[in-house]
Amino acid sequence: MAGSRRRGTVTRCDVAIVGGGVVGTAALYALSRYTNIPKIILIEKHPDVASVQSSRDSNSQTLHFGDIETNYSLKKARSVNAGAEMLAAYLDRRGRGTFRKFPKMVLAVGKKEVEFLERRYREFKKVFPKMRLIRRDEIARIEPNVVKGRRAGEELAAILSPDGYAVDYGALSRSFVRESRRSGKRVAVLTDKKVLKIERDGDRYKVKFKGGHVEASAVIVAASGYSMKFAHMMGYGREYIILPVSGTFFLAPKVLNGKVYTVQHPKLPFAAVHGDPSLGNSGETRFGPTARVLPILEPRKYRSFFDFMGLFRFRVDGFHSLARIMYDGVIFRFVMRNVLMDVPFVGKHVFARDVRKIVPAMRTRHLRHGRVGGIRPQLVDTRTKSLFLGEAKIVGDGIIFDISPSPGASMCLRNAQESAEKVVQFLGGKYRFDRARFLSDGRRRK
């Protein structure tokens, strides 16, 4: 479903949302269905919503609950699980055609990883009572190719979870738009409108694009790395810069029945290889991601280099922060290894070694580069000279900037709740957010 095209520009509204990915459309859904705010406009620069980070080919299509993401602390897993449960409830009730369910597991290989997974299972099972610790024989029954060809004495264990949602976040974004339009509110979606500037005009904001502008009492900017660009332009969040991490995937003939993750390094939450069913082709398995640092804000849009440089601005504290991050041996070796992924003939051989941790029989000839992958706008805090891991929300005076690296898509409804509550505070007076109904709708039916 394409976003609405309008010849004229709707010039006044209560809330303007910049960005039509899953974070922006989730905010549209929450505001239209659970507040009494009458007029909301979403502005998207592409011809359709969810054309960039939320499109089917730009992410791992995973709903992250925190059960098999081994870089999460227990506190982080609780938080992510609460947000993911909201989205799972929406998918189960209203998301027909936007997802499929598969078994999923995180695989431990070797004594050290197995012992780590056993400790983690004992700690996390109280939060995730459905997950199970399984051994070699059961792994082989569920995912035969994970065990086939492996050494007989090699220690294996896995945490298995039944909640393996593979989500087409582009289709989900369009679902949010459809549900918003059914709310009875005045909801408009303006596409092909590239926002050039946002400026304060008295007690309102002007969101300017070529050929017109929208005036709004409150604004949500949900445009991935570009959110930081607009924040900087308006004097917010200048202590942060963006480290754009490009993730790409390799495709192979179907060798897995569900999702299989590997144990992650806590310093590299975007790095551990995993295998996923492909929603676009049931005969394929996707492996990835590779992770490269590229000076762009949008995949395959190399003109966005200039937008990135506008954020970086050759700041001394920016150079110092990146140098300190790269000085870490784990990160440096990871970056250098991923550079090899782009070398013809060499890249597939290097990556095939990683994939063999999951599927021992995988050979280089079975893999091919997929035209998939997006840009994760990983934040760097120039004050601490370190990566800022997780989602980020900068709240200003009547304006919100959402920068959403993983697991931003999984947390889109929790994030939308927080944004809706803030917007109601901005507008004050007669406006309210029906939190009780939102949370009730966000509970999965047993």
- Over residues 64-72, the mean pLDDT reads 91
- Which residue type occupies 42? L
What value does the mean pLDDT take over residues 197-220?
94
Q: Which of 75-89, 176-190, 336-350 has the lowest mean pLDDT?
A: 336-350
More confident residue, 115 or 4: 115
Residue given tokens 């409108």 in the structure block:
193
pLDDT > 90 fraction of the chain, expressed in percent and rounded: 61
What is the pLDDT confidence band of residue 266, given thresholds at 50, 70 and 90?
low
Burial of residue 199 (number of CB atoms within 10 Å: 0-12, 13-18, 19+): exposed
Tokens 């409830």 sit at which residue? Answer: 89
Task: For 127-255, list the strands marked E by DSSP.
Answer: 132-134, 156-167, 186-190, 195-201, 204-209, 212-221, 240-253
pLDDT digits (tens, 9 = 90+) for 317-335: 877 887 887 777 667 777 7
Residue 371, pLDDT score: 65
29 vs 339, which has greater pLDDT?
Answer: 29
Selected residue with higher pLDDT from 391 and 172? 172
Lookup: tokens for 413: 């409804």
Write the class of the CATH domain 1-61+168-238+391-446.
Answer: alpha beta
- Which one of 133-137, 292-296, 368-372 scores highest in mean pLDDT? 133-137
Would you place residue 4 in the very low, low, confident or very high pLDDT band (cuts 50, 70, 90)? very low
Percent of the chain beyond pLDDT 70? 93
Average pLDDT over residues 69-73: 90
255-275 average pLDDT score: 83
Asked whether the predicted pLDDT for residue 6 surpasses 50, the reply is: no
Do 84 and 167 form a contact (C-beta atoms < 8 A)?
no
Q: What's the confidence (pLDDT) of residue 2?
A: 41
The per-residue pLDDT for range 33-65, each reduced to its tens digit, is 999 999 999 999 999 999 888 888 778 889 999
DSSP code for 90 = H
Whole-number pLDDT of residue 389: 63
- Of 14 and 383, the one with more pLDDT: 14
pLDDT at 7 over 50: no
Start-end of CATH 3.50.50.60 domains in the chain: 1-61+168-238+391-446
pLDDT greater than 50 at residue 5: no
The residue whose two tokens read 């990883």 is: 113
Residue 374 clears pLDDT 90, i.e. is over it: no
Average pLDDT over the chain, rounded to an integer: 88
Cβ atoms of 244 and 297 within 8 Å: the answer is yes
What are φ and ψ of residue 423, in 5° steps? -60, -40
pLDDT at 295: 82
Q: How many residues in the chain?
A: 446
pLDDT-based confidence at residue 300 (cuts at 50, 70, 90): confident
Which two three-digit tokens encode residue 429?
Answer: 């007076």
